[in-house]
Structure 1
Amino acid sequence: MAGQIPDLEAQVRTGTGKGAARQARRDGLVPGIVFGGDKEPLPITLNFNKLLTMLRAGRFKATLFNLKVEGHDDVRVICRDVQRHVVKDLPTHVDFMRLKRTTQINLFINVEVSGEEECPGLKKGGVLTLVRPEVELVVTAADIPESITVDISGLQIGDSATIANVKLPEGAKPVIDRDFVIAQVSAPSGLASQDDEDEDVAADEVPTTEMGPPDGEEAKD
């Protein structure tokens, strides 16, 4: 489960519009907006370097933050969108949504794998494929997991682990309302190719029977 909720410091953005946003970026800030709840949207700015560090660390959109803005009460928020420069791929604007502890939201949660050392399929040369490195879950704002774990310790070659094999955090459930594959252990490509060749050879080795002369004709010497 997620640990202590990290703080996210921001300042109130006094100006609005494209001109104010451009000036904020020149000052080393990233403009943003906080919306949702029963309050009016709040324009903010964040330190560019600190924001970039958090974005590069990963899981930014799957993290619940305690937003601290001078002159305003602390509020729990989650990032809903990060707009980036089309060429430099750097953040140019960030949208945050206010949350209550009981609010349910959809988030993509990272998948981790356990049991690789014990997996009999891998010991036999099988190859692990993580079909879904992330799974979209409905989670409660107060209980956002950092990740979910799929156990492959019992998989043989050709077996799969599905979402039904994953122990989800209390209150969390998949967005997809059916069982689906998370990871699978496949035969190595060389072995798979050999199996295909063996099947082709078997198909070619169909026994033939001698055909006698047509009815009413005698065989010629």
Structure 2
Amino acid sequence: MGSSLFLSRLFELKVKSEFDSDDVIEHVRVLPRRLHMNAATDAILNVTFIRAPSDALLKIDVPLIYIGEDVSPGLRKGSYLNIIKKSVKYLCPADIIPPYIEVDLSELDVGEKMVMGDLKVHPALKLIQSKDEPVVKIMGARVSEQKKAK
């Protein structure tokens, strides 16, 4: 979850005249667009940024964080959580980019699902995907657990 939270955060970037110089030419607000990592070691090789001025509208993959699993009626009955989406794409004003969106599972029972239109976000955010696309569903008990119950 760390890299996806990083990709939805704004940063202040200092542009210097030379590598070792203390002379700052410009302060730029940026959003990380892509994180390039070594496949074997997961070491960060490069980060690609885009400028994010206050008046910009940016397409952002906002990560989803699931809460309320411990009190969900469906999960308490032995069902399991089927996470369909880990992030949702929005068109966001640069000043209102959420670092993440909480998905509250505390009211979901067996067979119920949440769709993208159910997510609670700032009204200025425009969903780019279909609002009827599922995000998460509480599925019936696992087959192995059903056999144990018999």
TM-score, length-scaled by structure 1 = 0.55
- Deviation per CA, 1:14-36: give whole Å up to 9, x if none: xxxxxxxxxxxxxxxxxxxxxxx
- State the partner residue of 1:180: 133
Higher mean alpha-carbon deviation, 123-132 vs 84-93, is at: 84-93
How far residue 193 of structure 1 moved from its aligned partner, in angstroms, is 6.7
The 5 Å alignment of 1:186-205 reads 186-190=139-143
Change in Cα spacing, 1:177 to 1:186, as seen in structure 2 (3 Å) is closer
Q: Distance in 2 between matches of 1:80 and 1:101?
A: 17
What letter matches 2:55 in structure 1?
Answer: T
Change in Cα spacing, 1:132 to 1:72, as seen in structure 2 (3 Å) is same
Contact 1:151–1:165 under 8 Å retained in 2: no
How far residue 192 of structure 1 moved from its aligned partner, in angstroms, is 8.7
Aligned residues: 139
5+ long unaligned stretches in structure 2: 16-22
The structure where strand makes up a greater share of residues is 2
Contact 2:10–2:29 under 8 Å retained in 1: yes
Q: Distance in 2 between matches of 1:182 and 1:106?
A: 19
- State the partner residue of 2:111: 158
Q: Distance in 2 between matches of 1:123 and 1:87?
A: 39
* Bigger Rg over Cα: 1
- State the partner residue of 2:14: 68
- State the partner residue of 1:52: none
Residue 26 of structure 2: SS of its match in structure 1? Answer: coil
The structure where helix makes up a greater share of residues is 1
- State the partner residue of 1:28: none
Structure 1 outlier segments of 4+, above 4 Å = 85-89, 191-194
5+ long unaligned stretches in structure 1: 1-55, 195-221
- State the partner residue of 2:88: 135
Q: Distance in 1 between matches of 2:134 and 2:25?
A: 45
TM-score, length-scaled by structure 2 = 0.78
Larger RCO: 1 or 2 (CA < 8 Å, sep 6+)? 2
